[in-house]
């Protein structure tokens, strides 16, 4: 059986979804997400960049305190396939070290920047024990600010048990992403979904009953 390279969803009979955010933390947009998820007792996974964490350590600690998961998104957000194995490892371990220093917990899931990787990247992640996390709704392209309606219409088609969804809370104006997530979270809760972290979702893999 071929090894799964990027995990975009988990097969489960449980009504659970993992919503993820890349490129933060950001002092304007990340706290808004904390509020949105707190209102519904949901948890999210934040794939944070090392440089952004170093600038906003309080937000990293707050995310962890609120029960959200912090995933590894490298230290400077490079294309990993373009790096030497040594540089790739340094990017991953630099992020890992900072998360552990700020929260006391080492990240256990990783999303490569730009969802870009090579066979060499895969080998390094396997050696480090990181599952590589993708998402189903990449066509929403919220990072390009395509409009709230576009983000929502594409994402709604990707909603299902075990789905992993991607949005962005860092780099640039993320107000469209925040507005779309606010609407989506309300819809998902009304549909009976539980909002869980990626690690929680992975533990349910294969639970089809």
pLDDT per residue as tens, the chain (209 positions):
234 589 999 999 999 999 999 999 999 999 999 999 999 999 999 999 999 999 999 999 999 999 999 999 999 999 999 999 999 999 999 999 999 999 999 999 999 999 999 998 999 999 999 999 999 999 999 999 999 999 999 999 999 999 999 999 998 999 999 999 999 999 999 999 999 999 999 998 855 44
**Which of 68, 142, 168, 169 is flagged as catalytic?**
168
Q: What structural domains and CATH numbers belong to the chain?
A: 16-203 (3.20.20.370)
The model carries a pTM of 0.95
> Is 168 among the residues known to form the active site?
yes
**Which of 22, 23, 142, 169 is flagged as catalytic?**
22
> Is 22 among the residues known to form the active site?
yes
Q: Is the dihedral of CA 189, 139, 24, 95 positive or negative?
A: positive
Burial of 79 (0-12, 13-18, 19+ CB in 10 A): middle
């Amino acid at each position: 059986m071929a090894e799964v390279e990027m995990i975009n969803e988990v097969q489960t009979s449980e009504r659970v979804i993992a919503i993820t955010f890349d490129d933060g933390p950001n002092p304007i947009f990340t706290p808004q997400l904390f509020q949105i998820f707190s209102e519904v007792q949901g948890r999210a996974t934040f794939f944070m960049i090392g440089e952004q964490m170093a600038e906003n350590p309080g937000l990293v600690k707050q995310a962890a305190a609120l029960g959200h998961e912090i995933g590894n998104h490298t230290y400077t957000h490079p294309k990993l396939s373009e790096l030497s194995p040594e540089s790739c490892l340094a990017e991953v371990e630099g992020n890992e070290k900072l998360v552990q220093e700020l929260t006391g917990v080492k990240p256990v899931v990783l999303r490569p920047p730009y969802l870009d990787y090579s066979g060499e990247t895969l080998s390094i992640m396997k050696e480090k024990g990181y599952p590589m996390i993708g998402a189903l709704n990449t066509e929403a392209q919220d990072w390009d600010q395509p409009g709230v309606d576009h983000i929502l219409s594409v994402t709604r088609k990707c909603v299902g048990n075990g789905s992993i969804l991607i949005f962005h809370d860092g780099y640039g104006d993320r107000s469209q992403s925040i507005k779309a997530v606010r609407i989506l979270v309300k819809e998902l809760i009304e549909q009976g979904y539980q909002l869980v972290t990626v690690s929680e979702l992975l533990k349910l893999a294969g639970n089809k009953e």
